[in-house]
Structure 1
Amino acid sequence: MSTIGLVDRYDRVATDLRVSLTDRCNLRCSYCMPAEGLDWLPGDEVLTDGEVVRLIEIAVTRLGVREVRFTGGEPLVRRGIVDIVRRTAALSPRPDTSITTNALGLERTAVALAEAGLDRVNVSLDTVRRDDFHTITRRDRLHDVVAGLEAAAAAGLGPVKVNAVLLRGVNDDQGPELLRWCIDRGYQLRFIEQMPLDAQHGWSREKMITAEEIFESLATTFDLSPAEEPRGSAPAELFLVDGGPATVGVIASVTRPFCGDCDRVRLTADGQVRNCLFAREESDLRTALRDGATDEELADRWRVAMLGKRPGHGIDDPSFLQPSRPMSAIGG
């Protein structure tokens, strides 16, 4: 069995696998998809639970993947998610497992996920104001997110992390409020620059709240200092809040890209490998899998897919084109 991992032409090694379990979502966040939703993938195009686990097993046992994060869409709408987590956590060597979720279904599933072997959760939450939550997500469900966060913490799925996007003219003045809310509850907050991955293709650099603006806003209330721990390949720059121990992270994918240290690879819900979040090309594993390919043949296809990874996402390049798939179909 080959031990060659997922190495690209720039000697970056992918050890962090993001697995999208569905392109469906039960929110309609304005920066992600239109109010009416999208045309979802046909059911027969979506990988079965067994196919998902088989590809994860190949990644872990043959390709050196050490971390598996389940994403969507909203991964908790996938009926088989608890069993997928259980089978993933049972692999040897055991990968670190996590989920990125909007937390709407987390209150009822947190204990089962923890018992299945999930290690931690990242919850998307852009505001703690009910009216603004409704405006951003087009759903009056803030109470469900709060309950989901509490359930995750109680189930031991920590550290519980919160991902927030600030939108100009909507919640761009709420950074300090959101950070205080998270610190008071023991959650770790990460601000994320809005990226050009919306289905409507309405993103613009002028509308985006930059990392620098986030720092300026937080500095009105908190004293931030760089965390001493090395960042490594982590997307977030970490800062101590008022000397610590609380921290806040900023993921500045647009203005402070970290492509040179990227260790991530993505598998879409319909079995396509994406070697970059902003890639415009995909490599099909589903067809080969369903045509009877062996594990090593699938692993070789995956290795080849990584060779096409570009040195950076190219957002600043005049020729940059937004991926045809939106974030909900790619997986975060």
Structure 2
Amino acid sequence: MCWFCHNEGDVPPPPRTREDRSQRPRRRSLCSEHYVTVITALMEAGLRRVYFTGGEPLLSRFARPVLGNLPEPGPAASYTLITNGLLVRANQEWLARSPLDKVKVSLHYFSDESLRAIAQSRVGIDAILDGIEAAREIFERVELNTLLQKENAHEVRDILHFALDRRMPVQFIELVGTDFNADRVSSAVPADEIVSYLRTLTTDEHTEVAGVGQGRRVFRVDGVEIDVIHRHLGRHHVGQCGTCALRTQCVEGFWALRFDHDGDFSRACCAKTCAWTSRTS
């Protein structure tokens, strides 16, 4: 498991529960039918983007019954699976029949060494790269995202050119400092180097700050979009943050509704959960 994953404070990762037995996962109240019912109702109410995140979503026993039974999203909506790529090949057959229209692979490493350093994984990088190819075989839209850190700084250009060679969009992200990752703040590296390098490849660049939480630079290299979440552009609270009790502590701004396995809806806001919550069970 990557050192920066935190499950939004909901389910402590296995290493932490082994070290501290007082930290236990919350109860799992929902079944796959509950998830499908809630997603269907939200889509009918106007929701346009649904992201399936983890950890690794394909590890869940609910992955197939949920993703395989989603309502058709329609032309204005989308379903995105965010994955580390390891299990895509093994699940390729049924994923190809699902209504998912985009897969986003978290590729924070490009060698066995950096994979071990970042994710403590004994699986080789070739398995992850094969998962990316498996996704590309069945989905038209496959994207990458990479967290910039000391452990992968020497591989960032390799990841970029891997994406460009396959015409996959990629997003490079600066580490957002939170209480959870305070002990690893020394791993954070700025995006300045990749921004400078991208400017040698293209002059097609613009910035976006409205409604995105953290400002980002958007480049196009031969028609392929490259995003860089860049702290030099500042942080920007979106309109929904106006009455939030945690606004003064906020890092990124309100960027999603989050629905967990115990039936809670919450507003996802940096590595915290905003004060507003609603039980659906």
1:86 partner letter: G
1-structure distance, mates of 2:231, 2:217 = 11
Residue aligning to 1:7: none
2-structure distance, mates of 1:232, 1:255 = 11
Q: What is the TM-score of this pair, normalised by structure 1? A: 0.65
- Which of residues 66, 71, 77 in structure 1 aligns to 2:59? 77
Q: Is the 8 A contact 2:266 2:277 kept in 1?
A: no
2-structure distance, mates of 1:115, 1:132 = 34
How far 1:161 sits from its partner (Å)? Answer: 0.4
Task: Give runs of aligned pairs for residues 191-202 of structure 1, distance below 5 A.
Answer: 191-197=172-178, 199-202=180-183
Q: Measured at CA, do residues 174 and 109 of structure 1 come closer, stay the same or move farther in structure 2, by a change above 3 Å? A: same
1:148 partner letter: G
- Which of residues 171, 183, 192 in structure 1 aligns to 2:164? 183
Residue aligning to 2:4: 31
Residue aligning to 2:92: 110
Q: Measured at CA, do residues 140 and 35 of structure 1 come closer, stay the same or move farther in structure 2, by a change above 3 Å? A: farther
Q: Measured at CA, do residues 265 and 258 of structure 1 come closer, stay the same or move farther in structure 2, by a change above 3 Å? A: farther
SS at the partner of 1:274?
Answer: strand
Question: Could you list the runs of 5+ residues in structure 2 that have no partner in the other structure?
Answer: 7-11, 18-22, 240-253
SS at the partner of 2:226?
Answer: strand
Moved more, 111-120 or 144-153: 111-120
Q: Measured at CA, do residues 75 and 163 of structure 1 come closer, stay the same or move farther in structure 2, by a change above 3 Å? A: same
Residue aligning to 1:275: 267
Q: Is the 8 A contact 2:26 2:262 kept in 1?
A: no
Residue aligning to 1:88: 70
1-structure distance, mates of 2:210, 2:64 = 30
How far 1:135 sits from its partner (Å)? Answer: 1.4
SS at the partner of 1:173?
Answer: helix
Residue aligning to 2:115: 133
- Which of residues 264, 282, 287 in structure 1 aligns to 2:256? 264
- Identity of counterpart residues, as a percentage? 23
Higher relative CO (Cα under 8 Å, sequence separation at least 6) belongs to 1
Q: Is the 8 A contact 2:209 2:236 kept in 1?
A: no
2-structure distance, mates of 1:224, 1:172 = 23
Q: Measured at CA, do residues 85 and 282 of structure 1 come closer, stay the same or move farther in structure 2, by a change above 3 Å? A: farther
Which is richer in strand? 2
- Which of residues 142, 152, 163 in structure 1 aligns to 2:145? 163
Residue aligning to 2:81: 99
2-structure distance, mates of 1:224, 1:41 = 50
Task: Give runs of aligned pairs for residues 155-304 of structure 1, distance below 5 A.
Answer: 155=138, 157-168=139-150, 170-197=151-178, 199-204=180-185, 207-219=187-199, 222-226=201-205, 237-241=217-221, 244-252=222-230, 256-260=234-238, 264-278=256-270, 279-281=272-274, 283-286=276-279, 288-289=280-281
2-structure distance, mates of 1:45, 1:134 = 30
SS at the partner of 2:201?
Answer: coil
Q: Is the 8 A contact 2:31 2:62 kept in 1?
A: no
1-structure distance, mates of 2:74, 2:238 = 29
How far 1:147 sits from its partner (Å)? Answer: 1.1
SS at the partner of 1:115?
Answer: coil
2-structure distance, mates of 1:144, 1:254 = 35
SS at the partner of 2:33?
Answer: helix
Q: Measured at CA, do residues 224 and 247 of structure 1 come closer, stay the same or move farther in structure 2, by a change above 3 Å? A: farther
How far 1:283 sits from its partner (Å)? Answer: 4.8
How far 1:187 sits from its partner (Å)? Answer: 2.0
SS at the partner of 1:127?
Answer: coil
How far 1:46 sits from its partner (Å)? Answer: 4.6
1-structure distance, mates of 2:99, 2:210 = 26
Q: Is the 8 A contact 2:163 2:169 kept in 1?
A: yes
Q: What is the TM-score of this pair, normalised by structure 2? A: 0.76
Q: Measured at CA, do residues 86 and 94 of structure 1 come closer, stay the same or move farther in structure 2, by a change above 3 Å? A: farther
Q: Is the 8 A contact 1:231 1:238 kept in 2?
A: no
1:104 partner letter: L
Residue aligning to 1:328: none
SS at the partner of 1:89?
Answer: coil
Task: Give runs of aligned pairs for residues 3-82 of structure 1, distance below 5 A.
Answer: 28-32=1-5, 37-39=15-17, 42=25, 44-62=27-45, 64-82=46-64
SS at the partner of 1:180?
Answer: helix
CA root-mean-square deviation = 3.2
After superposition, the C-alpha distances for 1:25-75 in whole angstroms (9 at most, x for unaligned) are xxx21233699623386474353212222221222223x211111111211
Question: Could you list the runs of 5+ residues in structure 1 that have no partner in the other structure?
Answer: 1-27, 290-332
1:225 partner letter: D
